[in-house]
Structure 1
Amino acid sequence: MIEKLKFYIDGAWVDPAAPSTLGVMNPATEETFARISLGSKQDVDRAVQAARRAFATYCDTSVEERLSYLQKIIAGFKARLPELARTMTLEMGAPITFATERQATVALFHFEEAARVLAQYRFEEPMGPGIIRREPIGVCGLITPWNWPLNQVASKVAPALATGCTVVLKPSEIAPISAMLVAEILHDAGLPAGVFNLVNGDGPTVGEAIAAHPEIDMVSFTGSTAAGIRVAKLAADTVKRVAQELGGKSANIILPDADLKTAVIAGVHACYTNGGQNCQSPTRMLIPRAQRDAAFAAARQAVDSVRLGDPLDPATTMGPLVSPAQFDKVQDLIQSGIDEGATLVAGGTGRPADLNRGYFVRPTVFGDVTPQMRIAREEIFGPVLSIIGYDTEDEAVGIANDTPFGLAGFVQSRNRDHARAIANRIRAGRVYLNGAPFDRSLPFGGYKQSGNGREFGVFGFEEYLEVKAILG
C-alpha cells in the first residue's frame, strides 16, 4: 500500500489541517493500492498564503534563473519517467506502453516547451509612443483531471513557473499519485519554498476553495463543462482570470475523395485513444452515405485489432475505464444507442467476455446514428464511436458544427487544399488534417462550451501574463 498522506506546502511535506483519507483504486483490479489525504479550505488557505509570500520575490527572478529551474525539472522528470508511467497505469489504467510513450512523455514535453518559449520570449517591447510589458499574473490555482494526470498538470505548471507565477495545484483525487511524484521532482529541482504547492482533495471542497479564494489571481481548470461553469461562477466574485479546457464532441469528416478504409481504421483508433477518455477524441465519424457498408467493414476490422487486458502487459492496447461511475455512465450511453435505433456495428454493453474484473468496456461502434441521438450529442468518455452518414459536404459541416462543443475537428481527404477548405468552416479550436500528429507548440483550447483560453506553446505561456502599457 502506497501512503501519500501529506501535502506539499511552502517547500515541505506537511500534515493536513484535519485527518481525512481516501483510497486510490487500480481500475484494472478494483483494488485499493494507495491512500491520500483529502484537504480542506484551511489547507488551501495555507497553500495560497505560501504562494502569495513566494510570489513577492519569485516574480522578479531572471529568465536565466527560471530556465535553470526548468532544466533541473526536465532532468528529474527524465530520470523518473518509468516510475511516472507505471504510476499512471496503476491509478487510471493506461496501458504501460501508452503511459510511457504518450502519458509521461507528453507531460515532459510541456516543461521542454515552456523552456523553449521562455528562452526567446520578449517580456518588453516598444509600441507606438510607449512600452508594452508583460508581467506574471500572480498566484495561480490549477485544477486538473484524471484522464491525462500529468499532461494536464505539466501543461499548466510549466508555463506558470516559466512566467514567474506561483502555484497551488489540486490534482484529481482519482489519479493523484503521479502528481505527487512531480511535486518531489520540483522540490529536488530547488524551487524556492512556496513557489509550488499541492493540496489533494475533491472538487466541491478543495477545488471550490481554490476557485473562490480572494488571494488567487488566476484559476486554470480542465474537466467537465458543468464543473467548469461552477468554477467560473465562484471565480467571478473576485474577478480573477479563468482559463478552461472543457468537454468535446469532435467530428471526423471523411470526404468522398479520401481513402475510406484507411481513414476509418485510423479514425476508430483515434477515437479509442486513452480508452476513449480523451476530450478531443473524434467520436463522431461522418462518412458519405453511399459508403456505409465499406465504412462498417473497416470499423469492424479496426475493433478486431484492439487488445484489451492487463494494462501492465506491454502488448495491451486498451485498459479499463477509470472508475465504476465512469463504467456505468458509458454502459448507459451504449444502451441508449441501442434503444434509439442505431445499428450496433461492433461491441455493445457489458465487459469483454474474457475479463471478469476491472472496469473494462467493449470497444463499440454504432452506425446509422442520427445527430439527435444521445450518443451523438453527449460526451461519452469511453471507447464508443458514432458513424453518421451525409450526402453533401455542406451537410457534413453542418452536422460537425451542430454541437455545444468546439474543442477539435478532423478532416480526411486526398486533396490537402480540399481538406483545408473544410477545416476553415469547422467551429473548433484545433483541426487535424489527414492524421496529423499532436503538436505541443501550437495552441490547444476550445470554442463555445469547450472552454476559453489556450494551452501549449506561446499561447499557453501568455495565459499566465498580464499586459502593462508604460507611457511617457
Structure 2
Amino acid sequence: MRHQYVNGVWSPSASGEWIDVVNPATEEPFERVPAGSPDDVESAVAAARAAFTGWADTAPGERGKILATAAELIRARSDRIARTITTDMGAPYAMALKVQTLMPAGVLASYAQLAETYDFDGEPVGNSRVVREPAGVVGAITPWNYPLHQIVCKVAPALAAGCTVVLKPSEIAPMAAYAFAEILHEAGLPPGVFNMVCGRGPVVGEAVAAHPGVDMVSFTGSTRAGRRVAALAAETVKRVALELGGKSATLILPDADLAAAVKVGVAGAFINSGQTCSALTRMIVHRDSYDEVVGMAVEAAARQTVGDPLDEGTRLGPLVSATQRERVIRYINRGEEEGARLVAGGTERPFDVGYHVLPTVFAGVAPGMTIEQEEIFGPVLSIIPYTRVDEAVEIANGTPYGLSGAVWAGSRERAVEVARRLRTGQVAINGGRFNPMAPFGGYKHSGIGRELGTYGLEEYLELKALHL
C-alpha cells in the first residue's frame, strides 16, 4: 500500500485504512492508497506552515529552477507516467501521453520561466509601490479526469508564487499524483513545501478546505462539491479558486465550413470519453443545415473507436468507474424519455468487461431538456436547431454554466463577433487551438478565478501597497 507524503517523508496514514484503485478497463484493483484522516491533514498543514517563510523568501529564480527540473523529469518519464494514467483512469495511451502528460510538463516549464521573469516587486502607483507576495499555505483539491494536468495547474503556480501546498488528489485515480510527488522530491523541493494527503473528499478534502491553517483553497470538480468547498472555506475567510462544471456549446453559423465544424465539434465532445469539464457537449446548428449536420455527426461518432485504452486504434477508453458509467447511462435514458432522438450509441455495453459507453448522439434536442442543461461527463452529444443567430446565442448562454465554447463562421471576424456575445471563459474560433498560456476558467456556475499563464500565477499572490 502507498503512503502519505508529508514534510518530505513517505509515512503511513494515521487512519490505517486504505482505498482500492481499480483499472477501469479490467474492473480489477491494481493498487491501494491510504484513506487519509483529518490527523493526516493536520500534520501536512503544520509542515506547510513551518516551511512557508523559508520558501517565500527563496529567490523566485531558485524556485523556478526546481520547477524546471521537475518538468524535465516528467518529460523523461513521460511514457511511464502516461501508462500509469491509462491504467488509472482509462484514457487511451496516445491521449494520455500528449495531453495528460506532455502538456502538464509544458505548463510546469512555463511556470518555471514565469518565476524568473514575473515582476513580484510590482509597479509605482502615485506615491505608492504595489508589490505581490505569496498567499500562504494552499490547499489543492484535484479531480480524476486529468489527474496530472489539474495538479500541475494548481501546484506549479502556487510554488512559483512562493506558497507551500497541501495536495488532496482524487482517490479514484491517484497514481499520477504519486509519480508527481516523487518527481518534486527528486527535483530538490525542500521538505514541507509540498505535501500530499490521499483520501476521500468528504474526509480529507473537507478537512483541507476547513482548516484554519490553510490560507487559500483551489478546487477542481463538480459544481455541487465546489459549493461545499466554498462554504467550508468561508468559515475561515480564506481565498477560494474554483474550476467547476461546464455544458459548452459548438455554435455553427450558416456560412461555416460544416465538415470541419462537425469533425472538430464531435472530437471536442468525446475527448477523454467526454470526461472533460470543457467538453463541447452541445452542438447548435441552423435548421437549414440540421439534418446534414446530424448525419455528419453520426458518421464522425462511428469513427470514435471504443476499446482497450492501450490499443493503438482506440479513441475512447472506458469511463473511470462503474459509478460514472451508471450516471451516464441514466442521462441517456433520460434523454430518450424526454423525447430526444437517439441517432448513435446508446446504453448497450460494447464489451463484457470495462466501464465503456458508446459515443452517443442525440438529435431533436430542445432547450431545457435535461441532457441539454446538465453536465453528463460522458460521451454524449446533443444537437440543437436554431433559426436566428440571436436564438443560437440565447441557447448557448441558456445553461447555468459558462466554461468554454466554440464558434464556426465563414469569416474570423464574424465568428469573433458572435463569440464576444457568449458568457463563457474561452471560445475557440473556427477550430482555434487550446493555448496553455491563456486563462482557463469560467463564468456563472463554472467557477471563480483562472488557471494557466500569468493569470493563474496571480491567483496565488496577495497585493500589498507600500505608501512612500
| 1:423 counterpart = 2:419 | yes
Aligned-residue offset at 1:261: 2.4
Aligned residue identity for 1:422: V
Q: Distance in 2 between matches of 1:444 and 1:86?
A: 26
Q: Distance in 2 between matches of 1:123 and 1:42?
A: 35
Q: What aligned pairs does 1:117-136 form with structure 2 within 5 A after superposition?
A: 117-124=114-121, 125-136=123-134
**Match in the other structure for 2:409:** 413
Task: Tell me what 2:179 maps to.
Answer: 181
Structure 1 consecutive aligned stretches of length 4 or more whose deviation exceeds 4 Å: none
CA distance in 1, matches of 2:446, 2:68: 33
Report which stretch shifted further, 300-309 or 22-31.
300-309
In the alignment, what sits opposite 1:400?
396
Mapping of residues 241-256 of structure 1, within 5 Å? 241-256=239-254
1:64-108 superposed Cα distances (whole Å, 9 cap, x missing partner): 211211121112111211111001000100001110111111111
Could you say which residue in structure 1 is the equivalent of 2:225? 227
Q: Deviations over 1:124-152 (max 9, x none)?
A: 12221111010000000000000000010
Per-residue CA deviation, residues 293-330 of structure 1 (Å, 9 max, x unaligned), is 11111011101211111111122111000011110010
Q: Give the match for residue 150 of structure 1.
A: 148
Conservation of the 8 A alpha-carbon contact between 1:265 and 1:301:
no
In structure 2, stretches of 5+ residues that fail to align are none
Unpaired stretches in structure 1, ≥5 consecutive residues: none
Q: Distance in 2 between matches of 1:24 and 1:267?
A: 33
Q: Aligned to 1:359, what secondary structure does the other structure show?
A: coil
Alignment of 1:190-339 (within 5 A): 190-339=188-337
**Other structure's SS at 1:381 match:** coil
The residue type paired with residue 453 of structure 1 is G
Cα distance in 1 between the residues matched to 2:93 and 2:219: 27
Query: What is the aligned-residue RMSD (CA, Å)?
Result: 0.8
Shift of residue 290, structure 1, vs aligned partner: 1.4
Aligned pair partner of 2:62 in 49, 62, 65:
65
- Whether the 8 Å contact between 2:256 and 2:409 is mirrored in structure 1 is yes
Partner of residue 356, structure 2: 360
Matched, 1:461 2:449: no
Deviation at 1:18, TM superposition (A): 2.1
State the alpha-carbon separation in 1 of the partners of residues 239 and 15 from structure 2.
30
Preserved CA contact (<8 Å) 2:120 2:133? yes
Matched, 1:10 2:7: yes
Question: Equivalent residue for 1:378?
Answer: 374
Once the 2 structures are TM-superposed, how far is the Cα of residue 341 of structure 1 from its aligned partner?
1.0
Maintained 8 Å contact 1:167/1:197 = yes
With the length of structure 1 as denominator, give the TM-score of the two structures: 0.98
Asked if structure 2 preserves the Cα contact closer than 8 Å seen for 1:95 and 1:316, the reply is yes
Residue type of the alignment partner of 1:8: Y
Q: How many residues align?
A: 467
When normalised by structure 2's length, the TM-score is 0.99
Alignment of 1:163-174 (within 5 A): 163-174=161-172
Counterpart position of 1:81:
78
> Quick one: distance in 1 between partners of 2:249 and 2:74?
35
